[in-house]
Amino acid sequence: MHGGVNLTHSYIVTEEIIKEIEDCSDLAPLHNPAHILGIRACQKLMPSTPMAVVFDTAFQQTMPEKAYLYAIPYKFYEEDKVRKYGAHGTSHMFVSQRALELMGNPAHSKIIVCHLGNGASISCEIDGKCQENSMGLTPLDGLVMGTRCGDIDPSVVEFLCKKRGYDVEEVLRIFNKESGVLAVSGGMSDFRDIADAASKGNDRAQLALDMFAYRAAKYIGSYVAAMNGVDTICFTAGIGENNGMIRGMICDYLTFLGLELDDEANKVVGEEKLISTPESKVAVYVIPTNEELAIARETVALLK
């Protein structure tokens, strides 16, 4: 999961790499120690088989300082490594590389990838290199998600602690597990259920869809500004690949870019497809993600 600031690509496992993974375990306390256990178990069972590690934070390591630093005292970055790392990097890498292929591998490109699943993040890439990712120090940041709140004023934490007698851990548990569209819709986190309820007149379900699409569109808009343009927008993951209604709701905010969806093509479910019209100033694709294939490719490249 987490490679911290030092593990910036994929590696063959060595004792030094395991030590680095250990050293940044405080950034992913649920994942990194468990992964080390897995590596150790495999070393025991298959002592002569090389292993590779592929990090969900590596693709984002090309983000510029102005994008990944928080405007808090610099020592928190220098001494504690507090910064934006982003997440879903393997998926953003796979989808943006596939988009480049579909675009004919141009010398210059500006791409936005919307990974919309139960966990959701948006990234942008200039010439294939990641510039931004909507997740932060942890995956709690950014979009409204299945059960995560995404962007929120940090003062809400203190307010709720004082008002309700919670501790910080409890508030963060609620922000991670009991928030997002689950909270807004009144108990549903699966977009199929939410869409179904909304179509039957459930206002809270409709509000959850509206908030999800609005936040995603705001991120896309900010990344268009950050890159001073966009050539291609890609949708991927459970919702991005399968839910044409949500794709349509997001793209409705983006017609000012000259983006025009092909409504018929946008009905696609789970397949790679161009879903914008030939006249559209921005190409829009559905590209199914394939993190397993991306990891296998990284591993083959390392072994060569």
Binding residues for ligand AMP, total number by CB under 6 A: 12
Residue from 118, 147, 202, 277 binding ligand AMP (CB under 6 A):
118
Longest dimension (CA), the chain: 60
56 given a catalytic annotation: yes
To ligand AMP, the closest distance from the beta carbon of 195 in angstroms equals 7
- Separation between Cα atoms, residue 123 and residue 232, nearest integer Å: 12
Given the DSSP bridges, would you call strands 232-236 and 110-116 parallel, antiparallel or unpaired? Answer: parallel
- Separation between Cα atoms, residue 304 and residue 299, nearest integer Å: 9
Nearer to ligand AMP, 129 or 267 (CB): 267
Residue from 3, 89, 117, 139 binding ligand AMP (CB under 6 A):
117
Crossing angle of helices 155-164/168-177, nearest 10°?
Answer: 110
- Binders in 264-303 for ligand AMP, by CB under 6 A: 269
Distance of alpha carbon 284 from the chain centroid: 18
* Contact mark string toward ligand AMP, 31..60, x via CB under 6 A: ------------------------------
Helix (H) or strand (E) holding 11: strand 11-12
Nearer to ligand AMP, 24 or 114 (CB): 114
- The first and second tokens of residue 72, run together, are 């808090």
- The first and second tokens of residue 52, run together, are 């590779």
Nearer to ligand AMP, 110 or 148 (CB): 148
- Binders in 178-207 for ligand AMP, by CB under 6 A: 190-192
What is the total residue count of the chain?
304
To ligand AMP, the closest distance from the beta carbon of 260 in angstroms equals 23
To ligand AMP, the closest distance from the beta carbon of 117 in angstroms equals 2
Per DSSP, the three-state class of 71 is coil
Nearer to ligand AMP, 164 or 192 (CB): 192
Nearer to ligand AMP, 81 or 204 (CB): 204
Among residues 23, 56, 151, 262, which one is catalytic? 56
- Binders in 225-264 for ligand AMP, by CB under 6 A: 237-239, 242-243
Contacts of 100 (CB under 8 A, 6+ apart): 106, 109, 111, 128
- Separation between Cα atoms, residue 175 and residue 161, nearest integer Å: 13
Give the residue numbers marked as catalytic.
Answer: 56
Binding site for ligand AMP (CB under 6 A): 117-118, 146, 190-192, 237-239, 242-243, 269
